[in-house]
């Protein structure tokens, strides 16, 4: 079916870690299989990375809607000085 995506920007400051929830990326394709609905990180954060909470400090390039629903994905700022705020969209 059609894919519908609802997304809100997440803003991080130096050293922040934000766990992604369905308030940030929420997608549906009309099926009941969120483990098969995947997000690809096409533009990784400039000052940090997207991580699976079971593998801290390891950047990931994709994750599923099920991972988001289970709160297993974080956006982590790298704590670089002078980087200021950064947004995930």
Domain contains 65:
yes
In this structure, is residue 61 part of a structural domain? yes
The tally of domains found in the chain comes to: 1
**pLDDT reported for residue 14:** 83
Q: What is the pLDDT of residues 5-31, one digit of tens each?
A: 888 777 788 888 889 888 888 888 877
Whole domain around residue 61: which residue ranges? 35-77
> For the segment 43-81, what is each residue's pLDDT rounded down to a tens digit?
888 888 999 999 999 999 999 999 999 999 999 988 776
Residue 20, class by beta-carbon neighbours within 10 Å (0-12 exposed, 13-18 middle, 19+ buried)? buried
CA distance 85 to 81: 11
Q: Is the pLDDT of residue 85 over 90?
A: no
């Amino acid at each position: 079916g059609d894919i519908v995506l609802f997304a809100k920007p997440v803003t991080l400051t130096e050293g922040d870690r934000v766990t992604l929830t369905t308030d940030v990326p929420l997608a549906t394709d009309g099926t009941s299989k969120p483990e098969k609905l995947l997000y690809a990180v096409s533009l990784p954060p400039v000052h940090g990375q997207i991580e699976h909470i079971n593998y801290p400090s390891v950047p990931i390039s994709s994750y599923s809607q099920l991972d988001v629903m289970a709160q297993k994905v974080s956006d982590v700022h790298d704590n670089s000085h002078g980087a200021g705020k950064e947004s995930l969209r």
